[in-house]
Amino acid sequence: MSTNEWPLWEVFIRSKQGLNHKHVGSLRAPDAEMALQNARDVYTRRSEGISIWVVQSALITASDPADSEAYFEPSDSKVYRHPTFYDLPDGIEHM
Amino acid sequence: METQTQDKLAEKFQAKIDADIKIEPNDWMPDTYRKTLIRQISQHAHSEIVGMLPEGNWITRAPSLRRKAVLLAKVQDEAGHGLYLYSATETLGVSREDTIDDLHSGKVKYSSIFNYPTLTWADIGAIGWLVDGAAIMNQVALCRTSYGPYARAMVKICKEESFHQRQGYEIMTTLMNGTEAQREMAQDAMNRFWWPALMMFGPSDAESKHTEQSMRWRIKRHTNDELRQSFVDASVPQAELIGLKIPDPNLVWNEARGHYDFGAIDWEEFWQVVGGNGPCNKERIEARVKAKEEGEWVREAAMAYAKKHKS
């Protein structure tokens, strides 16, 4: 029976117009259409959303948390990308 | 060499826990942490699913359309909560099918409260007020649990459950404002559900074999006895307000402690029910197995349809 188990889907919901879709959880469904319907029933019983995306979990490629230190180091080490790195002369309040 | 790496990883893991950094599915975790979570989250999921049975028993006999709509919504929520929690269990690397089979074989338990029958409509009130009340007490604490997917499921569940307890208390309040027979019915439900509700928090701290390690891993944030005390303290005034008596002759406010003292729990009953000898254990598992077996052709047909229409 296990070979016949429904695939796993990740569910993303846009809570209102103007905001991104955000991951809310996962569920099992035989196909995309039923995944959408199940997502509506499971994740939006209280007006949580106006739009749903579902994507098969197996199709997601993720970075490896074990490597995250090295992987994200380039952004941590470049403090000059942040405005607070720069000195402004007195008299300039907003820039 | 190998053990050295393991020790280092374990050390780093505990440091993360101590710093209140959540653990996420693909992060390294000790095997026992994983196993503890699989046991606890799947047990929790099963409780949501089996918990639908005693309440479902009254949907067709709810006394008004309003009560029926409310009960349907509540039971549907419990199904949803079971699904959030099965998903959270799966993030730990076990299959949903195996998880469900472990319930059916009796390998994994569910909350023993659902092995008690719902004999009258007042039981639906008592369950919402006391059983969901006890569950919420436990679940609010779990919103800060160390495993990310479990904590997130808990936040969502707690938000949704707040109406569950209120609807139960409303049923009890309505009955207590009713006829003599209705008040008796409410008190009878209270008498039957009070002690099992206290048992929901699990064995006393001295007897609980998992508590110490689970506290260190911040899977649990409060001990069983702490949560039980909070529940008693919260529930007694609610009972008194509507004229329900707590079925415990030893219940008394302890000024020095700032808490209610309460009588000894019948742990023999608890272990009997956990061990499978409660009034409804057999019936509950049979209902779940039947649902799985009789739904199998539907699941297979849906899968066959999906395969056929995959271009």
**Residue A1 pLDDT more than 70?**
no
Total structural domains in chain A?
1
**Is A25's CB within 8 Å of B87's CB?**
yes
A11 forms bridges with which residues in the sheet? A25, A54
Residue A91 lies in a domain: no
**Is A26's CB within 8 Å of B87's CB?**
yes
Residue B271: how many other CB atoms lie within 10 Å: 14
Spatial CA neighbour of B228 closest among B256, B255, B248:
B248
Give me the mean pLDDT over the A55-81 stretch. Answer: 90
C-alpha A26/C-alpha B87 separation (Å) is 6
Task: Give the pLDDT of residue B1.
Answer: 54
**Is B28's CB within 8 Å of A66's CB?**
yes
- Percent of chain A having pLDDT more than 90? 74
Q: Is A43 helix (H, G, I), strand (E, B) or coil?
A: helix
ipTM for the assembly: 0.88
**Residue A77 pLDDT more than 90?**
no
Domain that holds residue A55: 8-81
C-alpha B21/C-alpha B27 separation (Å) is 12
Task: Tell me the nearest-neighbour CA distance from A61 into chain B, angstroms.
Answer: 13
Low-confidence ranges of chain B (pLDDT < 50): none
Task: Give the pLDDT of residue A3.
Answer: 58
Residue A89 lies in a domain: no
**Residue A41 pLDDT more than 90?**
yes
**pLDDT-based confidence at residue A75 (cuts at 50, 70, 90):** confident
Task: Give the pLDDT of residue B78.
Answer: 97
Which residues, numbered 80 to 119 in chain B, qualify as contacts with chain A under a Cβ-Cβ cut-off of 8 Å? 80, 83-84, 87, 90, 95-98
pLDDT per residue as tens digits for the range B214-246: 999 999 999 999 999 999 999 999 999 999 999
- Percent of chain A having pLDDT more than 70? 97
> A41: domain CATH number?
3.10.20.520
Task: Give the pLDDT of residue A94.
Answer: 87
Q: Does the CB of A8 have a partner CB in chain B at under 8 Å?
A: yes
Residue A23 lies in a domain: yes
Residue A27 lies in a domain: yes
Task: Give the pLDDT of residue B236.
Answer: 98
- For residue B83, the chain A residues in CB contact (below 8 A) are 27, 42
**Is A46's CB within 8 Å of B160's CB?**
yes
**Is B299's CB within 8 Å of A25's CB?**
no
B262, with CB counted inside 10 A (0-12, 13-18, 19+), is buried
Residue A74 lies in a domain: yes
**Is B97's CB within 8 Å of A31's CB?**
no
C-alpha B16/C-alpha B2 separation (Å) is 21
Task: Give the pLDDT of residue A2.
Answer: 47
Task: Tell me the nearest-neighbour CA distance from A84 into chain B, angstroms.
Answer: 27
Q: Is B219 helix (H, G, I), strand (E, B) or coil?
A: coil
